[in-house]
Chain A
Amino acid sequence: MKELFSPNARPRRVVFTTMVAAQLMLLILLWAFYPMQMLPSLGAVLRALSELTTSQGLIPELWASMTTALQSLAVATGLALLISYLTALPFFRPIAYAASKMRYLTLTGLTFFMAILLSSGHEVKLTVLIFATTVYLVTGMTSVILTTTQEEMDHARTLGMSEWRSFWEVVVLGKLDDMLEVVRQNFAIIWTMITLVETLYQSEGGIGLLLYKQNRYLHLDGVVAIQLVILATGALQDYLFGLLRRVFFPYSELTTAR
């Protein structure tokens, strides 16, 4: 018990699991029995969840949003990797710098601009998501590249590797696990944006639109139910990214302090 409150302690797995279960139980009990109702009751949320699933197509809407999110993420990751790796060439560094700073652009202004340029709502939605995700990914990825040390590059050079080969070995291969971590962290941004973008282009539905409707008609129980679904989906995504990292980059956690 004492170790749960000691700095940097490593409690046994069973102790830690019990602690998490107890915290979760406490949260549920508070939610169920706390006299001041800030949230809809647990029962109401569960009923709303059931109703959303059976009659409002929560699962297909979630799937629609998920496919859009994954599509955007795949394209954005490719673009961001390209822009970030090109920083090896001084000519392209201003582009990466500018891309990184574009994360300060507001989504509404961006959507308006994209709507003028593109014809279909789907394209606008996808382009806005790709653009916004790319600029965040470029920021994270260039930071990872900047962690490359003189020692690492010198090491590759002393093995007779050319500058490009050294870059490939040290920066591309050597930091691929960190790049995956950047993608994992920034995937959450897509979920915050997708809900907004889906309300602007309602023809394709999506969980964002469902959330918007619940908000609009003041169905607080439905709002909480959808938020919990998004939260669970995000947690599952995080877990899957962690799994990918452990499977493909088993070395990446060897030096991490636990």
Chain B
Amino acid sequence: MTPYFYKAPVLTLEGISMTFNGEVILRDINAQVLDVCRPDMQQGQVVGFYGRSGMGKSVLCRILAGLVSPTTGRVLVGEQQEPVTPGAVGFVQQRYPLFNHRTLHDNLLVAASRKYAPEEATQQVDAYLERFQLSKHRKKYPAHLSGGQRQRAAIAQQLLCSDHLILLDEPFSGLDVAMIDEVKKIILEVTTMDELNTVVIVSHDIATTTALCDRLWLLGYERDANGQLIPGATITQQHQYNLAEMGLAWHENVEAEPEFARFVEHIKDEIRQ
């Protein structure tokens, strides 16, 4: 097992509940992402929230990104554990929006200008374009980019202006196997850019999400004493998985391991209940 230890929290969800027009969507969600350190490794981490379609994952994403306030509870981010505000967490939405009226270079520049002085912002943009293999597309408008290029651009844009935390909403949705591999590479690339970088994946793709993460939270519904579903998705104590502790994190080809397959099956069984 890879040696590791935890440091300070980087993301905390405290009693998050969300109600829309009297309908409970999310109920009392608690989770904490701790900064994980591996000796002799300068790499950030990937954590995942798994939930079935229609369970309120996108609502959870908007809460985590500070775009909407929960009905109750709070989200704390960063080393100082301050309440989240829009812009504190990089958020790549499902359809990778970019400013369609700006070229790719300008899209990144507008984001970089938030954190850097003009000259440094330009340098940072050039560096990100290079790192994400987008340099030759710099003058193109978003409508000219392929889905993969668009996704890389959206991630680069968010990284340029956020502080280490980046949230991906359904990053594998509708992608073929080759594209999924590419996205996985990008995610790992993001974690290697800074030791503090933390990628939070919110997805319904169990196997791919599990393969990348070292912590996993499973959104689901609880039942009351009569066996009736309690409204509002939540994360119960038994649905919080420390994959590092289970020996399923940071393996090159973890998906081929029997233990991994057994775990994915276990998760599927939990979902079906």
Contact = CB atoms under 8 A, between A and B. Distances in A.
B93 interface: yes
Contacts of B65: 154, 158
Contacts of A160: 86-88, 114, 161-162
A254 interface: yes
Contacts of A177: 101
B100 A158 contact: no
B99 A158 contact: no
Contact of A158 (B91, B101, B110, B144): B91
A152 B144 CA distance: 18
Contacts of A151: 93, 95, 97
A157 B101 CA distance: 17
Nearest to A160: B87
B101 A176 contact: yes
Q: How large is the interface on B (under 10, 10 to 19, 20 to 34, 35 or more residues)?
A: 20 to 34
Interface of B is mostly: loop
Contacts of B89: 158
Given A174-B100, A174-B101, A159 B143 contact: no
Contacts of A170: 99
Contact of A255 (B97, B99, B143): B143
B206 interface: no
Contacts, number: 64
Contacts of A47: none
Interface of A is mostly: helix
Contacts of B141: 250-251, 254
A152 B90 CA distance: 15
Interface residues of A, number: 21
B143 A154 contact: no
A155 B67 CA distance: 10
Contacts of B67: 154, 157-158
Contacts of A155: 93, 97-99
A159 B157 contact: yes
A89 interface: no
B91 A154 contact: yes
Interface in A171-215: 173-174, 176-177
B34 interface: no
B87 A161 contact: yes
B17 interface: no
Contact of A159 (B111, B142, B144): B111
Contacts of B157: 159
B53 to A, nearest CB: 18
Given A154-B67, A154-B93, A250-B141, A159 B101 contact: no
B158 interface: yes
Contacts of B87: 157-161
B110 A173 contact: no
A61 interface: no
A159 B93 contact: no
A254 B110 contact: no
Nearest to A157: B86
Which 9 A-B residue pairings sit nearest by Cβ, starting from the closest?
A160-B87, A254-B143, A157-B86, A155-B97, A251-B141, A158-B91, A255-B143, A160-B114, A159-B111
13 contacts: A151-B93, A157-B67, A157-B86, A158-B65, A158-B89, A159-B157, A160-B88, A161-B87, A174-B100, A176-B101, A251-B141, A251-B143, A255-B100
